[in-house]
Amino acid sequence: MKTIMWFRQDLRLNDNPALIEAAKSGKVIPIYILDDINASSQKMGSASRVWLHHSLINLNKSLNGNLIFFKGAADKIIAKIIQETNFEKIVWNRCYEPWRMERDTRIKNWLKGMGIEVKSFKGSLLWEPQEIYKSDGTHYRVFTPFYRRGCLGAAHPRKPKHYPSNIQFDNSFNTTSNCALEELDLLPNESWHYKMIEGWSIGEKGALDSLNEFLENGILSYKSGRNIPSQKSVSRLSPRLHFGELSPNQVWYAAQEIIEPGDSNLDSFLSELGWREFAHHLHFHYPTLANENLNTKFNSFSWQTTQKSLKAWQRGVTGFPIVDAGMRELYQTGYMHNRLRMVVGSFLVKNLLQHWHHGRDWFHDCLVDADLCVNSASWQWIAGCGADAAPYFRIFNPITQGEKFDTDGFYTKKWVPELAKMPKKYLFCPWQAPSEVLEQSGVQLGKTYPMPIVDQKNSRELALQAFSKLPKTG
């Protein structure tokens, strides 16, 4: 039997349920379709496309050059393949963005009507949204009971499986609609992306190496170290999980082989995998989560539309060093430490009163791990309008956040080098430094480093006033 293996967000050989099924069925035809048509406005951002390009290169090498590339609407491409070939079966691992689920259901029903065997598998989540419900049959809206009671109280995730060693490729497959990887046009014309990927080893092997590195050197200090951006205590596995270079099952069980159950570092790390599950759970039950406030009382909120402030935030020139450090790390590397994501997010929606959509869009374009479900749920959380969200009065102070979590200033000085000589006392509030300190540090406020674009205390008070005017219910 000739089976098409449709790779999507599962760019790996190990623990790939659909690939295992395809290899069992007979000759395998591996394909990848870049479907910007059905994705429409939710197509991948620039940084994610760069990552995808390199991940596909490595996947194709693992498949001995047998991966076939297509570009366009997946339903139309598969229909064209049917016309030109005689494949009998198609398999894939399920995705959970609303637009993908709608498209995949349409394709599956149509193929079955054509008499073609179709199988889909759980390969990207530990627990699918339709598996986790409360005892009364309703879905969860609060993370802790979702994870502690719903997920941990459900059946254990399946254990990961090795890659199939007996893959036989169908070299007779021939279609006129495929293209070369370069024709997917995933790389931008500008050269910024070369520097962005310098610190990454993209692909399945790099993902496994990253996992092992974290388990050897990071997880034992995860609970406390995960808040310190200069330390290597976070896993940086989010792009690996998003593109499926690793399965969450591999990560879940590998971590538990290193640390005994009950350890607070292990529990803290696994709960972060749980948050990823929660984001997909929310998006499944609220398909408009990417665009609409889950808490509808925020529909009446008067967001500001100051382009100058938004641009300063995007470029990392707000005058608040810890915010600027996070935004520059994002733009230069395609990644931002999780603590900083909360700090810069709070600053945008609460100190600047900019709509969370602006943060969602910038992160979607700049993050290599940009995931529709996680990005949307996280921005709604920080804005206060999502499920189990941060209360409106929780406004991160960018000065104290820097002092607390970047005590020695290593992170901030790395990404804001114009403040490299600034003493710790004034590093996170250089506008408060005496003129002689600024001169000794080589800092000219307004020239070498900007003055703050807002007054921290006043902007906090304005935010509290604005949020307090929201309707009591919604």
User: Catalytic positions, please?
Assistant: 272, 275, 303, 338, 356, 379
Do the Cβ atoms of 74 and 32 come closer than 8 Å? no
| Rg (the chain; Cα; Å) | 24
Is residue 385 helix, strand or coil?
coil
Instruction: State how far Cα 246 lies from the chain centre.
Output: 14
Least Cα distance to 121 among 92, 155, 100 occurs for 92
How far, in Å, are 348, 354, 397, 457 from residue 359 at the CA level?
7, 8, 18, 22
What the block records as the tokens of 14 is: 């190990």
How many angstroms separate the CA atoms of 244 and 13, rounded?
10
Amino acid at 281: H
How many angstroms separate the CA atoms of 423 and 410, rounded?
12
How many angstroms separate the CA atoms of 184 and 193, rounded?
16
Q: Quick one: the chain helix, strand, coil %, rounded to 5?
A: 55, 5, 40
